[in-house]
Amino acid sequence: MKEDTLRLNCSGLEIHEVGMRDGLQMEKQVVPLEKKIEWINRLIDSGFDIIQVGSFVRADKVPQMADTAELFKGLRSLHSPLSALSSLLSALVLNEKGLERALECEVPMICMGVSASETHSMKNTGMSISDATDRIIAMAKMAEGKGHRVQVSVQSAFGCGYEGHVPQERVMTIVGRYFDAGLKNISLADTAGHATPDQVEKMFSAILEFDEGVECACHFHNTYGLALANCYAAMKVGVKSFESSVAGLGGCPFTKIAGGNTCTEDFVHMLQRTGMREDVKLTELVRLADDVDAFFGKEVSSAVRKVGPLQLYSKSEL
């Protein structure tokens, strides 16, 4: 694809920073509420379109997410109304109880989804694919009816750590049910990190052919080192929204092998090398990633943080 065509496809590209939810949920060392609020405020200042604050799940299953309601309360005390923020705040819910809590907290954007793997679905939600799809659609329609932005996803869309190959037809069946219900903000999540660029292009191309009004998002894990390549493949076919995690933290605690997410600072660096999303403050983001990794005592987990951002060329040098 020619460069100018790629730039056209990527116009209006959106970054959904999920480090405070997907990034932290695997960490055993619980981050204090005040530190989370500090990190979220720094993400807001860095210029992200959407920031996922947490998830409304059982505290005994995911202790790191036990304070999500308190997080929204604390952020609202600092930024009222939340709708006036430069970043849209989101949260994940898995069931009706989680949705009820999200609605009580007036979460601006609510994310929910169905796994395309029966095994992963049972481990993650305790529901079959069919039951989960019925319930998620009903929940999504309720949240939309109350004025919330809603994103529905298909998890394990590119493969499953337990079952291996996931047929594209199974993914498309779930997507088709979303469309039939009028739900057109759809994310495909590579929960096990099995996706390859050709698979990404094929899957998203099929979804984009469903309806011109679809809003596609992607969520890749870097289990096998292909997250950035998969993001690029998604961009080529017109995907507009990308989910990534600061410092590359994260992974699903209910999959067999948990790999980190697309690293936000590496993804932003890639975009800025090609003249996109220069509004995001990469230097500030790298500093935050340093702070996050120092808190957990981790080794450097992104290329940009190891060697520093490459000096951007001027247009005359390209």
CA proximity to 14, closest of 87, 113, 75:
87
DSSP 180: H
252 is catalytic: yes
Dihedral of CA atoms 221, 223, 225, 229 in degrees, nearest 10, equals -30
* Rounded Cα distance, 147 and 183, in Å: 14
What DSSP character marks residue 17? E
Q: How many CB atoms lie within 10 A of CB 86?
A: 10
Report how far residue 28's alpha carbon sits from residue 6's, in angstroms, rounded to the nearest whole number: 40
Tokens of 225: 């080192």
Query: Of 236, 243, 182, which Cα lies nearest the Cα of 214?
Result: 182
Distance CA 262, CA 191 (A): 11
Query: Which phi and psi angles does 275 have, rounded to 5°?
Result: 85, 15
Residues in the chain: 318
Which member of 105, 111, 216, 252 is catalytic?
A: 252
Contacts of 303 (CB under 8 A, 6+ apart): 263, 266, 269
Helix (H) or strand (E) holding 109: strand 109-115
Contacts of 166 (CB under 8 A, 6+ apart): 116, 117, 156, 157, 158, 159, 160
Report cis status (omega within 30 of 0) of the bond before 253.
no
Give the pair of three-digit tokens for residue 9: 């496809």
Question: In the 8-state DSSP scheme, what is residue 32?
Answer: P
Kindly list the catalytic residues: 252
